[in-house]
Amino acid sequence: MIKFKDMSFKIKTILGVAFIESILLAIIYFTSINSLNETNENQIKSRSNETSSLIALWVRNGLLTYDVGNTEHFIDSLVQSDGLVYVHIKNDEGKTFAFAGDKKYLTTSVEQDYTLEQANRDGVFDTVKPVMVDDIEIGQVELGLSVEKLSTFIDDVSHRIKVIAIVEVFLSALFSFFLGWVLTRRLGQLKEVAIKVKNTGNLVKIGDHANDEIGMVSQAFDQMSASLIKTQIKLKSNSMKLEEIFNNTKDGMIVFSLDGTILTVNPAFMNLVNCYKSVEGATYESFVEMIRKEIDFDDYESVKWLRLIDTFKGIEDVSNDNWKIRFAKPNTRLLNVSQKIINDTETQIHSIFFFTDLTKTEEVERLKSEFLAHAAHELRTPLSSVQGFSELLIAPTVSDDMRVELATIINTQSQRVVALVGDLLDVSKIETEGAQNFDFQQVLVVDIVDKVIRAFAIPEGRETISVKYSNDLGTVNVDFNRIYQVLLNLVSNAYKYSSIGGVNVFVEHFETEVENNTGVEIRVVDSGIGMTEEQVSHVFDKFWRADMSGEIPGTGLGMSIVKDIIELHSGTIEVNSELGRGTEVVVKFYR
Q: In sequence order, which ranges of 66-147 are alpha helices (DSSP H)?
A: 68-81, 116-119
Q: In sequence order, which ranges of 201-332 are alpha helices (DSSP H)?
A: 213-248, 267-272, 284-294, 300-308, 315-318
Q: Give the Cα separation of 337 and 272 in Å (integer).
A: 12
pLDDT for residue 353 is more than 70: yes
Model pLDDT, residue 506? 93
pLDDT in tens, 295-327: 999 999 989 888 888 888 878 777 667 889 899
Model pLDDT, residue 423? 63
Averaged pLDDT, 402-429: 71
How far CA 488 is from CA of 253, 502, 544, in Å, comes to 48, 15, 19
Q: Is the dihedral of CA 77, 80, 81, 82 positive or negative?
A: positive
400 burial type by CB count under 10 A (0-12 exposed, 13-18 middle, 19+ buried): exposed
Q: Give the Cα separation of 11 and 251 in Å (integer).
A: 62
With bands split at pLDDT 50, 70 and 90, how would you rate the model's confidence at 554?
low
From 203-212, 374-383, 566-575, the region with the lowest mean pLDDT: 374-383
Picking from 394, 400, 272, the residue whose alpha carbon sits closest to that of residue 327 is 272
Coil, strand or helix: which one is 405?
A: helix
Averaged pLDDT, 215-239: 76
Give the mean pLDDT of the chain. 81
Cβ atoms 412, 383 nearer than 8 A: no
For residue 9, the number of C-alpha atoms closer than 13 Å in the C-beta half-sphere is 12
Averaged pLDDT, 410-438: 70
Averaged pLDDT, 380-406: 74
In the beta sheet, which residues pair with residue 339?
Answer: 353
What does residue 358 show for φ and ψ, rounded to 5 degrees? Answer: -100, 10
Q: CA triplet 134, 138, 141: central angle to 5 degrees?
A: 115
pLDDT in tens, 127-183: 988 988 888 888 998 888 888 777 787 778 888 888 887 887 788 777 777 776 776
- Stated pTM of the model: 0.44
Q: Give the Cα separation of 254 and 335 in Å (integer).
A: 14
